[in-house]
Amino acid sequence: MEVTVYPKQPAEAMVWTPPSPTCYKINAGSAVFKEQKMAGVGILIRDAAGQLIGACSKKIEAPLSAIEAEAKAAELNFQFAKDMSIQDFTLESDSLTLVNAIRDLSPSPLSVATLVYSSVVVAHSFHCVDFAHVGQNGNKRAYLLARHALGIANLWIVTL
């Protein structure tokens, strides 16, 4: 498995950019609903042309913190990529803390250490996985899908 480390850039300056022609880009986002003690996860898969390949939204009935919800989104990303038979992709998250922990550039927060370790182990089962931080502007659609999860059961959209 190859892992690419991208240079640190200002979070808000980054916007979604297409992956290389042979890869996909997966944006994983989360939203926390403290009052309801729930979280939502949104995942979007796009190809090099920016076309939507698949999307999912999942409600998690647990009182998660923001970083825990982001780590859960990354974990669910791998299952969705596997379900879609995608082997080469870049996973983008707007959580710099999570991306740096997965890349082993900084220690994992204790509350997500197990999920981070699990994500790294599972990433090795794919052909090529990159992890990238993208500002909220580049992850807006995944976040909106995550917010939508509260009002629905689980939503899986697959386009081929």
Whole-model pTM: value is: 0.78
Does domain 20-158 correspond to CATH entry 3.30.420.10? yes
Contacts of 94 (CB under 8 A, 6+ apart): 11, 29, 70, 133, 134, 135, 136, 138, 139, 143
Contact 59, 38 (CB under 8 A): yes
pLDDT at 133: 86
Rounded to 5 degrees, φ, ψ at 12 are -80, -15
User: Which one, of 6, 94, 78, 69, lies nearest residue 45 by Cα?
Assistant: 78
- Per residue in 42-96, pLDDT (tens digit) is 899 999 999 999 998 889 899 999 999 989 998 899 999 999 999 999 998 888 9
